[in-house]
Chain A
């Protein structure tokens, strides 16, 4: 079945370390997105990409980086510059036609220890 796979489901990081979250989709969607969710809050957009080798900053891009070398993959790196990285991270994709909105992955919960 087509879908979006995020890995790992849980991730622990020591302060000062960079960590990369994986997001892979086999839906043939052009656009992909990364969101952050804090407890009891809505989703905030970190980065998005509408096409391979191109991506744009969202509302809270500081301390994060992304790449889009393949259509299927949109990894997110949480750098040591992100001061409060503990959160739930969600990846999503959509079709250019946009009709049905987003398809989301199951998320990665990152905890800084």
Chain B
């Protein structure tokens, strides 16, 4: 199974871009990269996902390197409400039994 590595914590100043890295060096060609976030004591929330190309939606941008071994989630203008744990997940199967949530990155947005 493809695994991911994320820094345990990061800080970001309010209003600045938050760039959260993720390494997934063993990713297979048909595996997607998903990002979720979890605000304290709530269920995780889907942010974005991608296969090869960079993706953008109303919440964030996802940049995937050409060799697909790493990716970066970008929150363009971080706010205090973006303080959360961010999970980078590689989909390894057709159903969710292999949708593995590791410890993630705890992002603290500072005023």
Contact = CB atoms under 8 A, between A and B. Distances in A.
Interface of A: 4, 6, 31, 33, 35, 40-43, 45, 48, 50, 56, 58, 88, 90, 92, 94, 98, 100-107, 109
Interface of B is mostly: loop
A8 to B, nearest CB: 14
Given A40-B103, A42-B102, A104 B44 contact: yes
Interface string B36-62: 100001111110010000000000000
B99 A90 contact: no
B95 to A, nearest CB: 6
B46 A102 contact: yes
B97 A107 contact: no
A109 B103 CA distance: 19
